[in-house]
Amino acid sequence: MPFNVLVTLRLIITMNRKELIEQIRTKKSFLCIGLDTDITKIPEHLLDTEDPVYEFNKQIIDATKEYCVSYKINTAFYESRGLAGWQSLIRTWNYLPKDTFSIADAKRGDIGNTSEMYAKAFFQAESSGMSFDSVTVAPYMGADSVKPFLKFENKWAIVLALTSNEGSKDFQFLPVAEDTMLFERVIQTVSGWGTNDNIMFVVGATRGESFLTIRKHAPDHFLLVPGVGAQGGNLQDVCKYGMNKDCGLLINSSRAVIYASSGKDFAEAAAAEARKVQNEMKLILESM
C-alpha cells in the first residue's frame, strides 16, 4: 500500500448505470453528499482523534447512508494536507458503502501518460489504494484528457459541461457556431467519445432553464448537479427541466448537510438535513 496506509481494501464492487437507477428507485433518492471536509470546520472534539477528517467522514456516512445514493469526495480538501490528507482520503474511500456511487471530484484535465496516471490514481486500487466509480474531468484539452478514463471497464468520467460559478461566463457561453455555445459543443463532442454508461456531465444547479438545452444534447446521460442548498440552486427547478425517464440526476449537497451543526450533534444534524432532502426527492420521484 502507498504511504504504508494500514487499511483493508473494501470489496471492490463497481456500480453500473442499471444498478445506479435501481438504487435511486430503492432509496427514493438521487442525493449525492459531498464530503468536502475542511479540518478547520469540523467539530473541535474530533481534533483529538487519530485521524479527525476520517472520523468526521465516518460518522457523517453512518448517519446519512440510508438517505443518499452517492458520495462525492472533493480531493482538494485532502491533497492540501499532504500525506495525512491522502491517508484520510484512502480510508474514507474504503469506508464508503458498497451500495453507493463513489465520485472522486478531482477535476483532472491533462493529456497522454499524465491523464492515464490520473485515471490509475482513482480507479486502480492495487496501485493507489482507491477504486472510485467515477472521476470529474475537465475537457478543455480535448479527447486526450477524457478518453484515458474511459478505458477502465465499468468506470465513469464526469465531464464539466456548464458550471455555476461567475467565471463560467468567460468561456462557456461563447458562441462557436450559429445558435451554439461552447458548453453545447462540449456536450455534443464528448457524448461521442463514450456512452451514457460511462459519461456523465456536471451542470450547475443555478442554471435553471439551461437544463432544457442540456437535455437537447444529452437526453439520456446522468447529470451531476452541484449548487443545491448553500449555493442557492432550487431542487424543484432542476428536476422540472433536468429529469429524464430514469431520473438522470445526482443532486449534490455538501456544506448544507455535513456542516448542519458544528457541535457534538453534527452527525444527527447531517442526518436530519439529508432526510429532509430525501423526503422532497421521494415526492418528486413518485410524481414522475
Domain borders along the chain are 2-286
Of 28, 58, 107, 120, which residue is the catalytic one? 107
Q: Is 107 a catalytic residue?
A: yes
Grid look-up 493529456 returns 111
Grid look-up 439520456 returns 220
- In whole angstroms, how far apart are CA 67 and each of 17, 30, 227? 19, 9, 18
Residuewise pLDDT in 10s, the chain (288 residues): 444 444 455 555 689 999 999 999 999 999 999 999 999 999 999 999 999 999 999 999 999 999 999 999 999 999 999 999 999 999 999 999 999 999 999 999 999 899 999 999 999 999 999 999 999 999 999 999 999 999 999 999 999 999 988 898 999 999 999 889 999 999 999 999 999 999 999 999 876 778 999 999 999 999 999 977 655 568 988 999 999 999 999 999 999 999 999 999 999 999 999 999 999 999 999 998
Residue 210's nearest CA partner among 244, 256, 173 is 173
Which grid cell sits at 107? 477535476
Which DSSP string do the residues of 11-22 spell out, in sequence order? P-----HHHHHH
Sign of the torsion angle spanned by Cα atoms 149, 150, 156, 157: positive
Ranges of H-type helices in the chain: 17-27, 52-64, 76-79, 82-95, 112-123, 125-128, 147-150, 182-191, 210-217, 235-242, 255-258, 266-286
DSSP 224: E
Look at the domain 2-286 and name its fold: TIM Barrel (3.20.20)
Residue 132's nearest CA partner among 155, 109, 165 is 155
Residue 133's nearest CA partner among 93, 165, 161, 167 is 93
What is the number of other CB atoms lying within 10 angstroms of the CB of residue 224? 26
Q: Contact at 8 Å (CB) between 286 and 79?
A: no
